[in-house]
Structure 1
Amino acid sequence: MIFSGEFVNGIDLVDVCLWAFMIFFVWLIYYLQREGMREGYPLEEDPSGRQEAPGLVFVPPPKSFNLPNGRGTIEMTYGKADTRDLALNRTAPWAGSPFVPSGDGMKDGVGPASYAMRADVPDLNWDGQDRISPYRLNPDYTVSAKDIDPRGLPVVGLDSRVAGVVTDLWVDRAEAIIRYLEVKLDGSGVQVLLPVPFANISKSRKRVEVAAVKAEHFANVPRTKSPDRVTRLEEDMISGYYGGGTLYATPQRQEPWL
């Protein structure tokens, strides 16, 4: 007998396919909603910080994540909450009201100077080697003859005062680009890192110009624990410090334009 579209009497193949698709689609929505709640939940009330009850339906189960380069595994349900006590004061009691720094915004890491609490370990390449490393440990890297080598050039802040001199370059070995300039500060001899996006290497003036901060601010740039390595957390803290200078370096920058 030729198949007429029925498995047995009263069961239609079209109905079976339709219901199977609907069941799968509902399950997919539930799964994506549940997995999407691993970060940013449970919700918190803005003024008080009170956490909303997570509910019963969409709570994701614990999940194990394998870390690369033999750094073990971590198990979590929700992403780790940021519990830092930030040096900020609310300008009004209602939700969504702006905050103002209660101290030095650049040092306290708030506003444009804020940073994420990344893992305090170096970023590694696929082979387990440090991704970002100074030139002195990588003799095969050189500066193109078409570009000016910033090593030996003075570094000046937005006040046109000299903060120090560039002593080395830190290269991203995964992408073969320079990420940081190493600056030796005048007077103290302390070495700090300067992210390349904040540096303008002037060929005509033969100096490195930094518009984000003053010369005096270089003394408070977050340090690295190792002279030859930088961790993910340290990278965020350093970039956040210079980013904070774009607003907090001078009182005039914090005033409205209009």
Structure 2
Amino acid sequence: MAGTNVRFVTVNGEDAAVCSVLDRGLQFGDGLFETMLCVDGAAVDLEEHWLRLQEGCGRLGIQCPDIRREVNAAIARWGTPRAVAKLVVTRGSTERGYRCAASVRPNWVLTLSDAPKHPLAHGSGGVAVKLCRTRVSLEDPQLAGVKHLNRLAQVLARREWEDEYHDGLMTDPGGRLIEGCTTNLFLVAGGTVRTPDLTACGVRGIVRQKVLDHAKASGIPCEVTQLGLQELERADEVFLTNSVFGVVPVGAVDGTKYGVGPVTARLMRELCQGVYF
């Protein structure tokens, strides 16, 4: 996916886009972020993103104030029909060293960019993805599932391809499938929806949870489990999820072809149509 230009920036609610060089997000990756689709001046699933951000802040011990009103106002003020918002919260700015006072004041940065075209705009056969050599590291339980600012594995993985692929699939050191570089992964086999267990690493995506909740409510069999390359090869359908595109069908993983099957099509229709495309 090609990058898009940042059109709007606010730092701590101020339009002057200035951050201290001593900010711990810059110095140590000490912070978290959320990426949200904005439609007609409002963020999609803002409350869900806010709850995840608050959970992550709690696990990292960051005292983040309630900035939802400011975030909403900034998104509404920009007013474009479709945009992508990235909200970054850091522990704040301190002197040199890992240790910091409990009273340090967090910083937050909101950027707004043009929303990229949905992959389905280029055809309905599903996107092409690749299996990455770079692997996701197993994390301390305190960090597993948290969308923190340390994304070096994803940065290295993204260097493995140009724009011929929509995303790259990543495994853990044991060869278990975890997620896409920018997405969560789902397989469908025999009508059952399956997604990797992210207890030890990976990001628990907002749309991932929406798919699981909707499948359960709709009577679609689903499970969170360990998945390997054999399960990927045997899958009837493969799809990806994230907060920018919703549900995206996969047409090919390297040399293995897949179709846009009935389960994926149903989830796209019931969860995404009119919002993500």
Shorter-chain TM-score bucket reads: under 0.3
Q: Could you tell me the TM-score, scaled by structure 1's length?
A: 0.23
Q: Could you tell me the TM-score, scaled by structure 2's length?
A: 0.22
Q: Which has the larger radius of gyration?
A: 1
* Higher relative contact order, structure no. (Cα contacts within 8 Å, ≥ 6 residues apart): 2
